[in-house]
Amino acid sequence: MIDGLEAFFESRHRGVAEELTRFAQTQMNAFASAHDDAEARAQTPEAVRLMGRAGWLQPQDSRTLCLFREAVAAVSPLADAVFAIQGLASVPLRLSGYDGPWLERASRGEAVGGFAMTEPEAGSDVANIQTLARPDGDRWRLSGRKWLISNAGLADFYVVFARFEGAEGSRGIGGFLVEKEAVHFVGPQVLSAPHPLGQLEFRDSPARLLDKEGFKLGMRTLDTMRVSVAAAACGMAGRALNEAILHAKTRRQFGQSLSEFQLIQAKLAQMALALESSRLLTYRAAWQRDQGQQRNTREVAMAKAQATEQAQFVIDQAMQILGGKGMLADSPVEHLYRAVRALRIYEGTTEVQYLIIAKGLLS
């Protein structure tokens, strides 16, 4: 994974990359093909446990975080998503200085976390969150509904974003910790690529305040994790390219292998260019963050927009090269085709990334 990108890594990262490749191929391959929502929900806690037991849920630098997601996403998009949500639930606890047991349990893989920000009327428009928080002694009570929440109904705890009663705008949003017993699971929202997603209701639910500046907490959390979305996209694209190359070399049509047709060669070249440019932007942004450049928002936006859009292109081209074989339900490329689409939406749509890039240019 590091070949050609040595300028962005330290010598220790090569060993990390090799270890991650082994871990992904031997431990995460069991989660490569969940067939439906129920199976994805059954597999999620076990994936968390294995990651925690291996130590990968402990704090990592940005480059290791990206190496992990690239390696795992190539094997199992479900396992990659599980890791991402565990990170989204753990990072705000660390950032807020939380001193309770949930952070350590999540880091060991003993507890599944959830990150509850999205609402029916608050997707990209986070400042429009309507879930309300009212004080109750030294605790808080939450009322409202969240949807499109990963690990909904599965998580042992949730980091929830809610508006203080009577407050307006982004400054009126707080970050809270809510344990599973206080949350009502409305039901699943089923994706085409199996992933535990659903709706939650808070019915005067007891909560612990993590940070009065919840909007900033949420944005800092997303900033921490967003570059790794680009890495996951690279992992999926890399797997698709490898599958396309293998098929092109072994599939014969009209008396020769597909790889001998110039149109196929051109497709493979375009796919490789898309992947390598994405990886360069991704690991540049991760390297910058590890050098202390925490305000590299534009570079992270470039990486996320490029990698996720190009991963969609690469996987689509791989499907075209594989033809009917690629559309079969047991094809890795078919699984990737369904899984990659969400990456262009979650943690900031491509359109939002374009706005961030343009704002940086114009300033």
pLDDT tens by residue, 76-135:
999 999 999 999 999 999 999 999 999 999 999 999 999 999 999 888 888 899 999 999
Q: Which helix (H) or strand (E) holds 46?
A: helix 37-53
Question: Angle between the 262-290 and 297-322 helix axes, to the nearest 10 degrees?
Answer: 160
Domain extent listing, the chain: 6-107, 113-216, 219-362
Please state whether beta strands 252-253 and 256-257 pair in parallel, antiparallel, or not at all (unpaired). antiparallel
Q: Are 35 and 194 within 8 A, CB to CB?
A: yes
Count the alpha carbons within 13 Å of 337 in the hemisphere toward its beta carbon. Answer: 16
How high is the pLDDT of residue 329?
85
Q: What are the start-end ranges of the E strands in the chain?
A: 113-116, 132-136, 139-150, 157-164, 173-179, 184-188, 197-211, 252-253, 256-257
| Span 318-326, average pLDDT | 95
260-270 per-position pLDDT tens digit: 999 999 999 99
Evaluate whether 113-216 and 219-362 have a shared fold.
no
Rounded to whole angstroms, the Cα distance separating 66 from 346 reads 17
Please, what CATH class does the domain formed by 219-362 belong to?
mainly alpha
Q: Please give the pLDDT value at position 201.
A: 97
Average pLDDT over residues 165-181: 94
Cβ within 8 Å of residue 72, ≥6 positions away: 20, 24, 28, 79, 80, 83, 232, 235
Residue predicted with more confidence, 141 or 191: 141
Task: Retrieve residue 311's tokens.
Answer: 């991963």
**pLDDT (tens digit per residue) in 217-231:** 999 999 899 999 999
Report the topology of domain 113-216.
Butyryl-CoA Dehydrogenase, subunit A; domain 2 (2.40.110)
Q: Please name the residue that has the structure tokens 């939002």.
A: 352
Is pLDDT at 16 greater than 90 in this prediction?
yes
How many other CB atoms sit within 10 Å of the CB of residue 190? 14
Query: What tens digit of pLDDT does each residue of 273-299 get?
Result: 999 999 999 999 999 999 998 678 999
Fold of 6-107: Butyryl-Coa Dehydrogenase, subunit A; domain 1 (1.10.540)
Q: Distance of CA 189 to CAs 36, 42, 213, 353, Å?
A: 12, 16, 29, 26
Q: Categorize the per-residue pLDDT at 34 as very low, low, confident or very high, splitting at 50, 70 and 90.
A: confident
316 and 325 in contact (C-beta within 8 Å)? no
Q: What is the mean pLDDT of residues 143-170?
A: 95
* Alpha-carbon distance values, 150 to 25, 249, 326 (Å): 24, 39, 28
* H runs (alpha helix) in 294-331: 297-322
Residue 347 is a catalytic residue: yes
What pLDDT, on a 0 to 100 scale, did the predictor assign at position 191? 84
- Region 124-153: what's the mean pLDDT? 93
Angle (deg, nearest 10), helices 214-250 and 262-290: 150
User: pTM here?
Assistant: 0.94
Identified catalytic residue from 70, 299, 334, 347? 347
